[in-house]
Amino acid sequence: MTEHDQRNRVVLLGAGGVGKSSILKRFLFNTYSDTYQETVEDLYCREYLIQGADIKVDYLDTAGKLVFPAMRRLSITTAHAFILVYSVTKQDTFEEVKRLWEQIKEVRTNYEDIPCVIVGNKIDLEDNRQVEKFDALNWVYNDGNCGAFIEVSAKNNECILEVFKLLMEKAKNPRVPINEPFMPRRLSEHSLEVQFGQSGVNAEKSNGPEQSSSDASKISRSRSLIRRGSKPKVRKSHARSHNKQDCVIS
């Protein structure tokens, strides 16, 4: 995902029903629906003005069911960045993200240079949690630079923008080594450097309605999102903070 590419493709992968479409639609349109509709493949095209450069981004929302293996392999082959999504309420969806990451490593020999964010969705269903944050963090830290990590709620619009901020950070520093555990650090809202352009933005969804320039998102680069430290402490699910914006990013 560089300024020199004609188009940049961000591919969302994950099991069915984890909220890939909900995350993307919340980010692009600030909309949410509780009605589940199985995705086959949806493409959303956007143009942004970032630090004076026109950046074209295609967001590819893929099917959760592996009905067309060749289609999934093609999406992995053509991606410039990945967002891998699981539900914190279903352990098997987390295992699917692990399998997806192994497939990415098999298909893309340059996987260490590809920005990737691991996203645990549905933290609004904390009482039904099956995947502990500690376990997800340890996997991200220990599995060969598989990306950054964040937990979100598409339903409550909690930490959705931070997913794409993290993706920008990984695009700028794709080979940041993860050789030891890091302590989570909150995203600073006062260190804004990168802004998605508000004027002259052409946004349209393939086979869908157009989005006006007023819907263009602002996105910004934070200071370092992670700092070295000791191993993350185990945090019981019932002890989670009541502050919705207190999201952990690493």
Q: To 10 degrees, what angle do helices 160-172 and 20-29 make?
A: 90
> Based on C-alpha coordinates, what's the Rg of the chain?
17
HEC profile of 198-237:
CCCCCEEECCCCEECHHHCCCCCCCCCCEEECCCCCCCCH
Report the C-alpha gap between 201 and 217 in whole angstroms.
Answer: 10
The pLDDT assigned to 125 comes to: 97
Report the C-alpha gap between 96 and 77 in whole angstroms.
Answer: 18
The pLDDT assigned to 41 comes to: 81
Q: Is 46 helix (H, G, I), strand (E, B) or coil?
A: strand
Could you tell me which CATH class the domain 8-239 is placed in?
alpha beta
Write down the residue that tokens 């509780």 correspond to.
Answer: 34
The pLDDT assigned to 54 comes to: 86
User: Strand 41-50 relative to strand 53-62: parallel, antiparallel, unpaired?
Assistant: antiparallel
H or E segment to which residue 71 belongs: helix 69-78
201, two tokens: 């933005």
CA angle 207, 211, 214 (to 5 degrees): 175
The pLDDT assigned to 6 comes to: 63
CA dihedral over 127, 32, 146, 107, signed as positive or negative: positive
CA dihedral over 227, 245, 162, 153, signed as positive or negative: positive
Listed residue (250, 117, 101) closest to 182, CA to CA: 250
Report the C-alpha gap between 135 and 128 in whole angstroms.
Answer: 16
Give me the tens of pLDDT residue by residue for the chain, a chain 250 residues long: 544 446 899 999 999 999 999 999 999 999 999 887 777 789 999 998 877 888 899 999 998 776 667 888 999 999 999 999 999 999 999 999 999 999 999 999 999 899 999 999 999 999 999 999 999 999 988 875 667 999 999 999 999 999 999 998 888 877 664 333 333 333 333 333 333 333 333 334 444 444 444 444 433 333 333 333 344 444 444 444 444 444 544 4
Listed residue (163, 222, 215) closest to 187, CA to CA: 222
Report the C-alpha gap between 112 and 71 in whole angstroms.
Answer: 22
The pLDDT assigned to 191 comes to: 34
- Give 158's DSSP letter: B
Total length of the chain? 250
The pLDDT assigned to 25 comes to: 96
Report whether 150 contacts 120 (CB < 8 A). Answer: yes
Other beta carbons less than 10 A from residue 117's beta carbon? 27
Domain boundary assignment for the chain: 8-239
Tell me, yes or no, if the pTM score tops 0.85: no
